[in-house]
Amino acid sequence: MMHFADGLRAQGHQVQILTAQWENHWPDQVMLREVPITRLPHPAVPGWRTFRYLRSLARWLRTNAEHFDLVYVAGLRYDAYAAIGALQGLRPVVLRAEGCGESGDCEWHRQARFGNRIRHRCMNADGIVTPSVAVRDELAEARFATNLIQVIRPGVVRPSAMGEGLQQRVLARQAIAEINADLLVNTDVPVAVSICRFQHSQGLCQLLYAWQRVVRRFPAAQLWVFGDGPDRDLLYELVLDLELRNHVSLPGTFDVNHEILAAANLYISPQTNEMDTLPLLEAMATGVPVVAMDTPSNQSVIRHEEHGVLVVPGAPEALAAGIERQLQQTILAQYWAAAARERAQQEFTLEQSLQAHLEIFDQVL
């Protein structure tokens, strides 16, 4: 969302981001890349905190309606419910579906309290953007109007120039080590990177089981898993249980992923939901060899043994074999990575994504 907002701002549009103030000591107004961000109160108390946040969101939207033309909401959940209810046709509301399957919006509607009511209100949105055909089909099956749904792939920012190959990796590792000394490694150490939210982490658990196999063959190899979320403690305990403390790091999150990816020998996308597509595309655009799950979404981005390696989901041994293949057959891996970079930089650019969004915004305004 930050890349998207920054891209709109660069094209001359005025953008304001609303989000929750998850910690009381956080400032309620900040600027990031010249984009103003307003954090609305989200009391850290049980019971009514979600209600209070949604009431604050609805009040802000109604109070400031004359200052904006359109609202774009990430997810078809509480924020979407509040935005559509608050504006009541005063301003168009476009929603962005966040995923499908067990972590997607439709499954959340089935499981969450008041989920069915929220689903029905989301059907009143002026437009819905999905990151893939799989998400679109799931929404259609849930009886969302197909004429409101538009598939728009996430767009990646073109990486800044940091050299090529080994030179790029050396510079990137030096920059990361200056930020986090725990990530200081020699140039010849194989480093694999994964970037995702630590939630519904079956895929990440499978990655750790696979990595246990990988280090038997590559004892010096390091896995950096960037992200955060409610399953962080669970994953850290699994790292300890598998005796991977010296081989796996959980460094948290970075604002920009380019240097992380440029420092890696390999990018691994272990999740099967749609929300992890953007880091995968960023890795492709950076020219890093990739291993991903063989899902419909990833198949639309990567052709197996043409842009990288796709492996069967839920099988740590298959994932380990794919990782080992990319680390061992380096010439072939770089050949596939070059093809993936060309595809990402031609077919999945931020400029293309922005243009597709602006066309939808123009239609509903």
pLDDT 10s digits, 350-365: 999 999 999 999 999 9
Give domain status of residue 113, yes or no: yes
Give CA–CA dist 85/96, Å, rounded: 17
140 and 208 within one domain: no
317 and 175 within one domain: yes
Q: Which helix (H) or strand (E) holds 355?
A: helix 350-364
| Residue 211 C-alpha from the chain's centroid | 22
Give domain status of residue 160, yes or no: no
116 and 9 within one domain: yes
355 and 343 within one domain: no
- 8 A C-beta contact, residue 145 and residue 123: yes
- 8 A C-beta contact, residue 156 and residue 282: yes
Share the mean pLDDT of the chain.
Answer: 91
In the chain, the number of structural domains is: 2
Give CA–CA dist 276/266, Å, rounded: 16
Evaluate if residue 174 carries a pLDDT over 70: yes
318 and 232 within one domain: yes
Domain around 122: 2-155+350-364
Residue 190, token pair as written in the block: 């194989």
**Amino acid 46: pLDDT:** 58
Summarised one tens digit per residue, pLDDT across range 118-163 is 999 999 999 999 988 889 999 999 999 999 999 998 888 877 655 5
178 and 77 within one domain: no
**Amino acid 124: pLDDT:** 96
Neighbours of 315 (CB within 10 A): 15
113 and 86 within one domain: yes
CB within 8 Å of 306: residues ≥ 6 apart: 336, 339
Evaluate if residue 326 carries a pLDDT over 60: yes
Give domain status of residue 289, yes or no: yes
Residue-wise over 180-210: b if at least 16 C-beta within 10 A, else e? eeebebeeeebbbbbbbbbbbbebbbbbbbb
Residue-wise over 9-48: b if at least 16 C-beta within 10 A, else e? eeeeeebebbebbeeeeeeeeeeeeebebebbebeeeeee
Give CA–CA dist 83/37, Å, rounded: 17
**Amino acid 275: pLDDT:** 58
Give domain status of residue 83, yes or no: yes
% of the chain at pLDDT higher than 90: 70
Beta strands in 158-265 (DSSP E): 191-195, 222-226, 248-252
Give domain status of residue 288, yes or no: yes
- 8 A C-beta contact, residue 359 and residue 150: no
Give domain status of residue 207, yes or no: yes
Give CA–CA dist 191/327, Å, rounded: 9
Strands 29-32, 35-41: pairing kind: antiparallel
318 and 171 within one domain: yes
216 and 127 within one domain: no
- 8 A C-beta contact, residue 100 and residue 298: no
Give phi and psi for 35, each to the nearest 5. Answer: -105, 120
> Which residue type sits at 298?
N
49 and 189 within one domain: no
253 and 225 within one domain: yes
End-to-end CA distance of the chain, in Å? 21
> Which residue type sits at 116?
N
Length of the chain in terms of residues written: 365
Give domain status of residue 245, yes or no: yes
Give CA–CA dist 361/72, Å, rounded: 9
273 and 129 within one domain: no
Q: What is the CATH number of the domain that holds 231?
A: 3.40.50.2000
- Split at pLDDT 50, 70, 90, the class of 165 is low
Give domain status of residue 262, yes or no: yes
